[in-house]
Amino acid sequence: MTDCLFCKIREREIPADIVFEDDDVLAFNDVNSQAPIHILIIPKQHISTVNDVDTGDEPIMGKLFSVAKTIANQQGISEDGYRLVVNCNEKAGQTVFHIHMHLLAGRAMTWPPG
Ligand code: AMP
Ligand code: ZN
């Protein structure tokens, strides 16, 4: 997707503070962090929203969780805890239409979310 912000980050057309990368997944710091640690974890493959996930995407969707666990270990937040969020479409607050998992940590989280 040529005009997708996160595809452009994947292609290094837009700079980002990358904290993890492998063949399938990229993770980088959110530019507008909502917690002391706020990292976005994306599949390199362009999938717009959760509504666009199909059964063939199950391995990569599962991998987002294992990468979240790896990053949490690297950041030293596994025991204190962290929140993983995926927004789907406008009413949930999705603003970038390349599926991504938010990893938030470093402060107490409230429930319900806003
Ligand atoms: P969402 O609202 O769930 O679609 O999340 C999109 C996130 O992308 C927001 O938290 C933004 O702050 C973040 N964001 C937007 N542009 C960039 C960028 N260039 N680099 C890193 N994060 C970004
Ligand atoms: Zn994309």
CA of 55 to the centre of ligand 1 (A): 26
Q: What is the pLDDT of residues 30-42, one digit of tens each?
A: 999 999 999 999 9
Confidence of residue 26 (pLDDT cuts 50, 70, 90): very high
pLDDT over 90 at 109, yes or no: yes
Neighbours of 12 (CB within 10 A): 9
> Which tokens hold the place of 109?
């989280």
Residue % of the chain over a pLDDT of 90: 97
pLDDT over 60 at 17, yes or no: yes
- For ligand 1, mutation pick of 32, 64, 83, 103 (most atoms within 8 Å of CB): 32
By CB neighbour count within 10 A (0-12 exposed, 13-18 middle, 19+ buried), where does 19 fall? middle
3-state secondary structure of 38: strand
pTM over 0.95: yes
* Pure H helices in the chain: 5-10, 58-75
Q: What is the pLDDT of residues 80-92, one digit of tens each?
A: 999 999 999 999 9
Residue 112's identity, in one-letter code, is P
**Sheet of 101-105, strand order:** 18-21, 25-29, 37-43, 101-105, 83-85
Q: What 8-state DSSP symbol labels residue 68? A: H
Domain spans in the chain, listed from the N-terminal domain onward: 5-105
Residue 106's identity, in one-letter code, is G
Domain topology for 5-105? HIT family, subunit A (3.30.428)
